[in-house]
Amino acid sequence: TGPLLELDGVRKHYPVHEGLILRRQVGAVRAVDGVSLSIAAGETLAVVGESGCGKSTLARLALRLIAPSAGTIRFDGRDVTHDGRAALKPLRRQMQVIFQDPFASLNPRMSVEEILAEPMLVHGLGDAASRAARVRELLDLVGLARYHADRFPHEFSGGQRQRIGIARALALKPRLIVCDEPVSALDVSIQAQVVNLLKDLQAEFGLAYLFISHGLAVVRHMADRVAVMYLGEVVETAPVGALYAAPRHPYTQALLAAAPVPDPARRPARPALGGDVPSPMKPPAGCRFHTRCIVAQARCREEAPALRTLGPGHAAACHFAETVPAFTRLGAGERH
C-alpha cells in the first residue's frame, strides 16, 4: 500500500504587490519552495524549523486548506491538488487538525458538548442521541470527566483545553491529524502528558500524524521520521534515530545544539544558531543556509545543494554532508 499523504514538489508562493492604484507585483514570498514528503498510515512525520521556515504553510497545504502554486498533493493515492470544496468534503472527515493555541481555536460561547458535536453536525452524522453518546466517548478517550460536557472553554486549564481540541479532532474518526505545535504553548510537565495521550490514541486508532514543531526536543519522543525545513525547503530528512544520532546538515546540528538538555554539564561546546532567518522573499543565493552556516565555503554562496540520499531514509541538502563534522552527538540513542 502506498502512503496516506504524499506531497510531491509542492510550492506555495504568495505574490507581493506594491502601489495603491497601479498595483504591480514586486516579488513573491516563497513560503514553501519545492517540498516532497509522504506519511504512511499510522506513522508520525515531524516537520521542524524556526518560525518563517514555511511549516505552517506546509500544514495548510497538507490539509488542502490552501492550494499549492505547483506540485501535487495525494491523499490515499488520489490526486487532491485541485479539488474544490465539494470534492474535498469527504477528505475533510479523514484529515483533522490540532492547533497550538486551543483557547483561540475553541468557540468561547459553545459548551464542550457543542464543540465536540459540531463536526458531526457539519457532516450530517447521527442523531442527537448518538452524537451525545459519541461526545461522552470522546471525553473518555482524552481523559476528561463526562461532567465537563456542560462547561465552557474558559473553565479549563491549558492542558485540558488541548484535550478538548484533540477530542474534537477525533470526532469524525480521521486517519490523519495535522498537529500544529500542539504542545508549545503548554507547561513542560503538561507537554509530556499531551504527547503521551497523542501516542496512545495513535496506537489505538492507527492515526497518522503530521507533527509541526519549532524545536527538536518534543519531536524525539513523538516522531518516526523527521523533516527539517529551512526557508521553504526540506534540508534534511531521516528516521528519528538517525537524525539524532548522526545529523548531517549543519542546520539540523545547530537546532540540536539549541535544544535543551537535561544536564548542562554534558552540553558540548558548540556555537549556537546565530542570526535571523533571512526573508523568504529574497532567499540567499546558493545554499539558503549559507548566511548562518559555520562551515560555509565559497561554493555554498553560488551553488544550491540538492537533497542527496546518505543512508536508508536519510537525505540532506548540503555540499559537505558526508564530511561535515557531526559535532552534535547529543546523547545519541538516549531517551529522557
Binding residues for Mg ion, rule: CB under 5 A, are 56
Rounded to a whole number of angstroms, the minimum distance from the CB of residue 1 to Mg ion is 31
Under 8 Å between Cβ of 5 and 75: yes
Instruction: Report d(CA 200, CA 294) in Å as an integer.
Output: 40
Residue 116 binds ligand SF4, judged by CB under 6 A: no
Q: Which stretch binds ligand SF4 (CB under 6 A): 68-76, 136-144, 197-205, 282-290?
A: 282-290
Question: Facing residues of 72 across strands?
Answer: 8
* Least distance from ligand SF4 to the Cβ atom of residue 70, Å: 24
Chosen residue from 296, 307, 315, 330 binding ligand SF4 by CB under 6 A: 296
332 CB-near residues (< 8 Å, 6+ apart) = 244, 245, 246
Instruction: Report 303-332 residues binding ligand SF4 (CB under 6 A).
Output: 305, 318-320
Q: Which of residues 250-269 bind ligand SF4 (CB under 6 A)?
A: 250
Nearer to ligand SF4, 168 or 292 (CB): 292
Task: Give least dist CB 301 to ligand SF4, A.
Answer: 8
The entry of ligand SF4, Mg ion, none near residue 300 (CB within 5 to 8 angstroms by kind) is ligand SF4
C-beta closer to ligand SF4: residue 59 or 315: 315
| Closer residue to Mg ion (CB): 204 or 276 | 276
Shortest spacing between CB 255 and ligand SF4, in angstroms: 12
**156, interface contact from Mg ion, ligand SF4, none, CB < 5-8 Å by kind:** none
Tell me which long-range contacts 296-301 makes (C-beta under 8 A, separation of at least 24). Answer: none
Mask 181-210, x = binds ligand SF4 (CB under 6 A)?
Answer: ------------------------------
Percent of the chain as helix, strand, coil, to the nearest 5:
35, 25, 45
Measured CA to CA in angstroms, residue 148 lies from 60, 142, 143 at distances of: 31, 12, 11
Query: Could you tell me if 110 and 96 are in contact, meaning their C-beta atoms sit under 8 angstroms apart?
Result: no
From Mg ion, ligand SF4, none, interface partner of 75 (C-beta below 5 to 8 A by class)? none
CB of 328 to ligand SF4, least distance (A): 14
* Nearest in space to 61 (alpha carbons), one of 35, 43, 86: 35
Question: What does 56 interact with, of Mg ion, ligand SF4, none (CB < 5 to 8 A by kind)?
Answer: Mg ion
Pairing of strands 70-75, 78-79: antiparallel
User: For 215-265, where are the alpha helices, taking DSSP H only?
Assistant: 240-245, 250-258
CA–CA dist 102, 284 (Å, integer): 36
Closest to 330 (Cα-Cα) out of 256, 251, 228: 256
Rg of the chain on CA atoms, in Å: 21
| 320 binding partner (options ligand SF4, Mg ion, none; Cβ < 5 to 8 Å by kind) | ligand SF4
Question: Which is nearer to ligand SF4, 175 or 319 (by Cβ)?
Answer: 319
- Note the residues at the interface with ligand SF4 (CB under 6 A): 249-250, 287, 289-290, 293, 295-297, 300, 305, 318-320
